[in-house]
Amino acid sequence: MSRTKHCLVALIAASAMGCQSDVDVREKGASDIRTASSTNPPGSSAVASTPVQSPAASTAISTAHNGQGATTDSGSYTEVVGQEGVVDWTAGIVTASGIGFPPADALNSIQARLLAKRAAQSVAYRNLLEAFTAVRVDSTTTVKNYVTTSDEIQVKVQGMVEDAKIIHERQLEKGGYEVTLQMKLTGRVSETFVPKNAPPVKRLVAETLPTPPPKSGMAYTGLVVDARGTGVRPALVPRILTEDGQEAYSQSYVLAKYRQNQGIAAYVSDPAAAKTHPKVTDNPLYVKALRPAGNSQTDLVISNAAAQTIHGVKDHFEFLEKAQVILIVDRAGSS
């Protein structure tokens, strides 16, 4: 097992210790990183891999919008989590950066660069783990909740973080090195955290109820829910509820292959970005959210009339089954 992966195992184990505070976990993680990085080539000393408070989070945000699979749209919704982590809820990715420095007594510039890079990778993995475990799964749980209660999930999370891709790296002044990692929130993540055995979908209204036709005369190609001003928070498995608490949309509506490949919904912070998003293409159905719901405020409530519009036409279930759903939320920091 590589030193970096050994460090990652220790971090996940520390995260799973429910009796430890988050501060204790971070301190232990930093200690593990220093220990894992201290086994250096003969003649060298331990690598200085303690996290550096720097513009790394800004770098992670910038890189997330220019890395593989990311979106450069100004309407992207990103959330800074942990010390140096960023979740892009529009592209469905988590990005984290780490900075490391070589020991003062490195034998030569080549060794110094390698040791600085190793240190940066260790810190980046730690920051990515911290960011990923902070991701909200639904209105009551986060990834960390699963990690702390299931050995099986711990192992899976370890594998997901280990498989993160290096999307950016650079040498800094004074011998420093920065590494940025990125992982997807779809694929294995969706397979692990999105419920597979959901109850069968029940239509909320009969198809015979009158439903307003699309203004364009064309069939609707997706659903856009305008949740600005509600304070809703993003999650892997959001639900859209009626005023009396029935599910108008959830993971239960989505076919397995779309749950895994696309997730349940995408978040944007600009209506223009929603209109051009490939999830809903060119003629989506727009509805307005009334308020958030759930312990973590990740679910949305829409009017019963809006639910009737969605469920009143059988063809609408096709875009629900394909997870062609966009949620417009407030920009981070806005009220």
Q: Are 181 and 60 in a shared domain?
A: yes
Among the residue ranges 104-108, 222-226, 243-247, the one predicted with the least confidence is: 104-108
Residue 198 lies in a domain: no
Asked whether the CA dihedral 189, 22, 67, 8 is positive or negative, the reply is: negative
Q: What is the mean pLDDT of residues 13-19?
A: 46
Largest distance between two CA atoms of the chain = 80
Q: At what angle do helices 22-36 and 3-15 cross, to 10 degrees?
A: 160
pLDDT at 53: 37
Look at residues 193, 212, 241 and tell me which one is the last residue of a structural domain. Answer: 193
Last residue in a domain, options 152, 171, 193: 193
Which percentage of the chain shows pLDDT scores above 90? 59
What is the rounded distance in angstroms from the CA atom of residue 201 to the CA atom of residue 249?
A: 9
Written as six digits, the tokens of 176 are 């420093």
Residue 226: the pLDDT is 98
Residues 156, 84 share a domain: yes
Instruction: For residue 23, give every residue at least 6 positions away whose Cβ sits within 8 Å of its Cβ, in sequence order, or none.
Output: none
Residue 65 within a domain: yes
Give mean pLDDT, residues 206-234.
Answer: 77
List residues bridging with 135 in a β-sheet. Answer: none
Does residue 207 belong to any structural domain of this protein? Answer: no
Q: Domain of 162? A: 3-193
Q: Is the pLDDT of residue 40 over 90?
A: no
Beta-carbon count within 10 A of 31 CB: 13
The answer as to whether 200 is a domain residue is no
pLDDT at residue 50, as a whole number: 36
For residues 168 and 228, state if they share a domain: no
Edge to edge, the sheet with strand 247-249 lists: 247-249, 240-241, 299-302, 285-293, 223-226, 325-328, 266-268
Q: What is the mean pLDDT of residues 11-33?
A: 41
Q: What does the pLDDT average to over 217-228?
A: 90
**Same domain flag for 144 and 248:** no
Q: Is 215 inside any structural domain?
A: no
Structural domains of the chain, count: 2
Based on the fold, state whether residues 233 and 173 are members of the same structural domain: no
Which residue, 295, 294, 258, 280, is CA-closest to 327?
280
- Mean pLDDT over 86-98 rounds to 97
- As a whole number of Å, the CA-based R_g of the chain is 22
CA distances from 72 to 251, 268, 298, 299 (A): 27, 12, 25, 27
Asked if residue 183 and residue 227 are part of one domain, the reply reads no
Cα 319 from chain centroid (whole Å):
23
Say which residue, 267 or 312, is predicted with more confidence. 267
Residues 184 and 230 in one domain: no
Q: What is the mean pLDDT of the chain?
A: 80
Residue 206: inside a domain, yes or no?
no
| CA neighbor of 298 nearest in space, from 263, 267, 262, 319 | 267
pLDDT band for 28, please (50, 70, 90 cuts).
very low
More confidently predicted of 103 and 7 = 103
Instruction: Decide if pLDDT at 18 tops 70.
Output: no
Question: Tens digit of pLDDT for each residue in 275-293?
Answer: 889 999 888 999 999 999 9
3-state class percentages of the chain: helix first, strand second, coil last, to nearest 5? 35, 20, 45
| Residue 42 placed within a domain | yes
**Residues 81 and 138 grouped into a single domain:** yes
Residues 175 and 47 sit within 8 Å (Cβ to Cβ): no
Regarding whether 181 and 260 lie in a shared domain, the answer is no
Specify if 258 maps to a domain: yes
Which pLDDT belongs to residue 276?
86
**Are 179 and 36 within one domain?**
yes
Q: What is the pLDDT of residues 227-272, one digit of tens each?
A: 999 999 999 999 999 999 999 999 999 999 999 999 999 999 999 9
Range from 22-36, 69-83, 87-101, 194-208 that averages highest in pLDDT = 87-101
Pick the closest to residue 4 from 131, 103, 100 (CA basis). 100
For the segment 149-181, what is each residue's pLDDT rounded down to a tens digit?
999 999 999 999 999 999 999 999 889 999 999
Structure-block tokens of residue 316: 């609408």
Q: Residue 41: which pLDDT band, with cuts at 50, 70 and 90?
A: very low
Tokens linked to 251: 């993971």
My answer on whether 313 and 257 are in the same domain is yes
Q: Are residues 43 and 175 in the same domain?
A: yes
